[in-house]
Structure 1
Amino acid sequence: MTMHIEEEPVSRSPGGGTSYWPDVRASLVVFLVALPLCVGVAVASGVPAELGIITGVVGGLVAGLLPGSSLQVSGPAAGLTVLVADAVAAHGIGALGVIVLGAGLLQVLMGLLRLGRWFRAISPAVVQGMLAGIGLVLVLGQLYPFAGRESPATTGEKVAGLPGLVVDAVSSPAGVGLGLLTLAVAALWNRSRLKVVPGVLVAVVVASAIGLLLPLPRIRVGPLTDAVTVVDLNLVDAGVLGAVVTFALVASAESLFSAAAVDRMHNGPRTRYDQELVAQGVGNAVCGVLGALPMTAVIVRSATNVRAGARTKASRVLHGVWLLVFVVALPGVLSYVPLAVLAAILVQAGWKLLEPRRVLALIRTDRAESVVLLLTAGLIVTTDLLTGTLVGLLAAVVKTAWDVSRLSVTVTPDGQEHEHVTLRGNATFLRLPRLLEALESLPVTKHVRVDLSGLRHLDQACRQAIEQWADAHRTAGRTVDLIRPASG
Structure 2
Amino acid sequence: MTTETHPKRPAKRSTLDRLRGLVSDFRASLVVFLVALPLCVGVAVASGVPAELGIVTGIVGGLVAGALPGSSLQVSGPAAGLTVLVADAVEKHGLAALGVLVAGAGLVQILLGILRLGTWFQAISPSVVQGMLAGIGLVLILGQLYPLFGTRSPTDTADKIAQLPGLITGPGADAGAAWSVGFGTLTLAIMVLWARLPAPWRAVPGALVAVACAALLAAVFAVPVSKVQVDSILTALDVPGPSQIGLITDPAVLGTVLTIALVASAESLFSAAAVDRMHEGPPTRYNAELIAQGAGNVVSGALGALPMTAVIVRSSTNVQAGARTKASAVLHGVWLLVFVVVLPDVVSLIPLPALAALLAHAGWKLLDPVKLVRAVRHDRAEAAVTIVTAATIASVDMLSGVLAGLALAILLAAWRLSHVAVGWSHPEDGRVHVHMRGNATFLRLPQILRSLDKVPQADRVHLDLTDLRHLDHATRLTLETWTAQREKTAAHVHTAMPPQLAD
Q: Normalised by the size of structure 1, how large is the TM-score?
A: 0.94
Q: 1:225 aligns with which of 234, 238, 253?
A: 234
Q: Contact 1:11–1:18 (CA<8 Å) still a contact in 2? A: no
Q: Deviations over 1:130-177 (max 9, x none)?
A: 101110110111111122212222211211221222222233311111
Are 2:22 and 1:20 aligned?
A: yes
Q: 2:397 aligns with which of 384, 392, 396?
A: 384
Match in the other structure for 1:208 = 215
The CA deviation at 1:15 is: 10
Q: Contact 1:49–1:220 (CA<8 Å) still a contact in 2? A: yes
Match in the other structure for 2:251 = 238
- What does residue range 4-43 of structure 1 map to in structure 2 within 5 Å? 20-43=22-45
The CA deviation at 1:19 is: 5.7
- Distance 1:364-1:11 versus aligned 2 partners, 3 A rule: farther
- What does residue range 87-486 of structure 1 map to in structure 2 within 5 Å? 87-171=89-173, 172-193=177-198, 194-212=201-219, 213=221, 214-231=223-240, 232-236=244-248, 237-415=250-428, 417-486=430-499
The CA deviation at 1:445 is: 3.5
Q: Contact 2:127–2:385 (CA<8 Å) still a contact in 1? A: yes
Q: Contact 2:21–2:323 (CA<8 Å) still a contact in 1? A: no
**Matched residue count:** 479
Q: Deviations over 1:288-320 (max 9, x none)?
A: 222211100001111111111111111110111
| CA distance, structure 2, for counterparts of residue 45 and residue 313 of structure 1 | 28
Secondary structure in structure 2 of the residue aligned to 1:325: helix
The CA deviation at 1:418 is: 2.9
Q: Contact 2:215–2:349 (CA<8 Å) still a contact in 1? A: yes
Does 331-340 or 83-92 show the bigger shift?
Answer: 83-92
Q: Contact 2:427–2:456 (CA<8 Å) still a contact in 1? A: no
- Distance 1:11-1:407 versus aligned 2 partners, 3 A rule: farther
Secondary structure in structure 2 of the residue aligned to 1:65: coil
Q: What letter is aligned with 2:246?
A: N
**Segments of 4+ in structure 1 off by > 4 A?**
10-19
Q: 1:85 aligns with which of 80, 84, 87?
A: 87
Q: Contact 1:402–1:430 (CA<8 Å) still a contact in 2? A: yes
The CA deviation at 1:13 is: 7.4
- Distance 1:207-1:18 versus aligned 2 partners, 3 A rule: closer
| CA distance, structure 2, for counterparts of residue 11 and residue 227 of structure 1 | 47
The CA deviation at 1:476 is: 4.9
| CA distance, structure 1, for counterparts of residue 36 and residue 156 of structure 2 | 27
| CA distance, structure 2, for counterparts of residue 257 and residue 12 of structure 1 | 33
- Distance 1:411-1:17 versus aligned 2 partners, 3 A rule: closer
Q: Contact 2:195–2:202 (CA<8 Å) still a contact in 1? A: yes
Secondary structure in structure 1 of the residue aligned to 2:154: coil
- Structure 1: segments with no counterpart, 5+ residues: 1-9
Q: Deviations over 1:54-95 (max 9, x none)?
A: 111110010011000111000000011111111112222222
Q: Deviations over 1:438-462 (max 9, x none)?
A: 2234344433221111111111221
Q: What letter is aligned with 1:111?
A: G
Q: Contact 1:12–1:18 (CA<8 Å) still a contact in 2? A: no
| CA distance, structure 2, for counterparts of residue 425 and residue 238 of structure 1 | 45
Q: What letter is aligned with 2:231?
A: G
Q: More helix by proportion, 1 or 2?
A: 2
Q: Contact 1:11–1:19 (CA<8 Å) still a contact in 2? A: no
| CA distance, structure 2, for counterparts of residue 78 and residue 256 of structure 1 | 16
Q: What letter is aligned with 2:336?
A: L
- Amino-acid identity (%): 58
Q: Deviations over 1:394-444 (max 9, x none)?
A: 111111111222211012133364322110111111111111222234344
| CA distance, structure 2, for counterparts of residue 421 and residue 211 of structure 1 | 79
The CA deviation at 1:204 is: 0.9
Q: What letter is aligned with 1:348?
A: H
The CA deviation at 1:211 is: 1.7
Q: Normalised by the size of structure 2, how large is the TM-score?
A: 0.92
Root-mean-square deviation (CA, aligned residues, Å) is: 1.8
| CA distance, structure 1, for counterparts of residue 145 and residue 19 of structure 2 | 51
Match in the other structure for 2:7 = none
- Distance 1:249-1:263 versus aligned 2 partners, 3 A rule: same
| CA distance, structure 1, for counterparts of residue 439 and residue 148 of structure 2 | 56
Q: Deviations over 1:314-349 (max 9, x none)?
A: 111011111111112211111111001101110111
| CA distance, structure 1, for counterparts of residue 480 and residue 442 of structure 2 | 14
| CA distance, structure 2, for counterparts of residue 221 and residue 116 of structure 1 | 37
Q: Contact 1:61–1:320 (CA<8 Å) still a contact in 2? A: yes
Secondary structure in structure 2 of the residue aligned to 1:148: coil
Q: Deviations over 1:347-386 (max 9, x none)?
A: 1110110111100111112111111111111111111111
Q: Contact 2:134–2:366 (CA<8 Å) still a contact in 1? A: yes
Match in the other structure for 1:7 = none
| CA distance, structure 1, for counterparts of residue 122 and residue 184 of structure 2 | 37
